[in-house]
């Protein structure tokens, strides 16, 4: 996990008058697993599509390190885009011819018990997801981009999907960048968390550092305003505050009970805080 694999410089994308990605500078390392979270419409999927070459930037560059060819980038979009009128076998043949795959690994296809002459449009959501993953795996991708699909498939297939991704990371040092809203099942996967808001990354932390930097305080009374709070839930009898960035100095100064929270709650706090910010603005 040492070498840089993707370098994004000054990336900007607009859709009409709206700036979807706003001058993004970010780097990713080989073998890194990254999750991108954020509100709907913050630009996450657009960012991923830029990395996948599906959307071309208006300004800026996306540089891949030497040796990373386009056919080593795998992309599963939330739309699960494939040629739907093709059969499973035709889809495999097409993908193999484009990516120069000599021997296709039918393991996943067989596990799913997919009929090869079945049309892709007849597959269920989960089957399509795993089928597309099997196509990408055959490319031996060095970068895997996954866009908001995990929550749409059933728990069994979801687990199957994640296991495959984890295997890939372990065996091939594949860089995985996923866009996700829920983290209950993928908590162990990401090493790095990015939160996107209005086309920019407002949070870029390693997961282990995040648990030290975000804490929750539950209180009956409001906490002082000089404690950095990114999100709060206040009702008459119960108040919850999410503190970021937290350090030991705050604990010493304000002796509340600072609780650890899981990744899911951390992201919720960030995302929720943005909604509150917008409301108050």
Binding residues for other proteins, rule: CB under 8 A, are 13, 15-16, 49, 52-56, 69-71, 73, 75, 77, 79, 81-86, 94, 97-99, 121
Q: Least CB distance from residue 249 to other proteins, whole Å?
A: 46
Considering beta carbons, is residue 58 or 257 the nearer one to other proteins?
58
Provide the Cα torsion 101, 102, 108, 111; round to 10°: 160
Classified as helix, coil or strand, 175 is: strand
Considering beta carbons, is residue 15 or 63 the nearer one to other proteins?
15
Considering beta carbons, is residue 121 or 188 the nearer one to other proteins?
121
CB 70 within 8 A of CB 113: no
Q: For residue 194, what are the contacts with CB-CB under 8 A and spacing of at least 6?
A: 26, 34, 35, 36, 37, 201, 203, 204
Q: Least CB distance from residue 245 to other proteins, whole Å?
A: 36
Q: Least CB distance from residue 218 to other proteins, whole Å?
A: 44
Question: β-pairing, 215-219 with 258-259?
Answer: antiparallel
* Cα separation of the two ends of the chain: 41
Whole-number Å distance between alpha carbons of 175 and 193:
14
Considering beta carbons, is residue 62 or 271 the nearer one to other proteins?
62
Considering beta carbons, is residue 85 or 236 the nearer one to other proteins?
85
Q: Least CB distance from residue 67 to other proteins, whole Å?
A: 14
Inter-residue long-range contacts of 68-72, CB under 8 Å, 24+ positions, other chains counted: 68/5, 68/142, 68/143, 71/98, 71/99, 71/100, 71/139, 72/139, 72/140, 72/141, 72/142, 72/143
Q: Least CB distance from residue 191 to other proteins, whole Å?
A: 25
CB 118 within 8 A of CB 149: no
Q: Least CB distance from residue 55 to other proteins, whole Å?
A: 4
Q: Least CB distance from residue 21 to other proteins, whole Å?
A: 12
Considering beta carbons, is residue 112 or 135 the nearer one to other proteins?
135
Whole-number Å distance between alpha carbons of 58 and 81:
23
Considering beta carbons, is residue 34 or 143 the nearer one to other proteins?
143
Q: Classify residue 60 as left (phi > 0), alpha (psi -120 to 50) or beta.
A: left
């Amino acid at each position: 996990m040492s070498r840089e694999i993707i370098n994004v410089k000054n990336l900007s994308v607009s859709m009409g008058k709206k700036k979807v990605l706003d001058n993004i500078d970010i780097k990713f390392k080989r073998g890194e697993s990254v999750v991108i979270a954020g509100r709907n419409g913050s630009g996450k999927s657009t960012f991923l599509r830029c990395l996948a070459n599906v959307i071309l930037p208006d300004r800026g560059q996306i540089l891949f390190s030497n040796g990373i060819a386009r056919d080593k980038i795998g992309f599963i979009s939330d739309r699960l885009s494939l040629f739907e009128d093709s059969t499973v076998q035709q889809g495999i043949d097409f993908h193999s011819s484009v990516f120069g795959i000599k021997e296709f690994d039918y393991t996943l296809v067989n596990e799913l018990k997919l009929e090869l002459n079945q049309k892709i449009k007849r597959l269920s959501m989960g089957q399509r997801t795993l089928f597309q993953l099997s196509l990408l795996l055959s490319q031996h991708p060095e970068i895997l981009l996954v866009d908001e699909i995990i929550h749409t498939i059933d728990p069994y297939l979801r687990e199957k999907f994640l296991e495959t991704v984890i295997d890939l990371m372990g065996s091939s040092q594949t860089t995985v960048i996923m866009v996700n809203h829920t983290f209950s099942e993928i908590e162990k996967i990401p090493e790095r968390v990015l939160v996107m808001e209005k086309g920019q990354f407002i949070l870029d932390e390693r997961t282990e550092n995040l648990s030290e930097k975000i804490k929750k305080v539950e209180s009956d009374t409001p906490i002082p305003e000089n404690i950095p709070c990114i999100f709060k839930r206040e009702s008459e009898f119960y108040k919850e505050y999410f503190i970021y960035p937290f350090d030991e100095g705050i604990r010493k100064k304000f002796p509340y009970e600072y609780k650890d929270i899981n990744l899911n709650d951390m992201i919720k706090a960030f995302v929720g805080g943005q909604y509150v910010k917008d409301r108050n603005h």
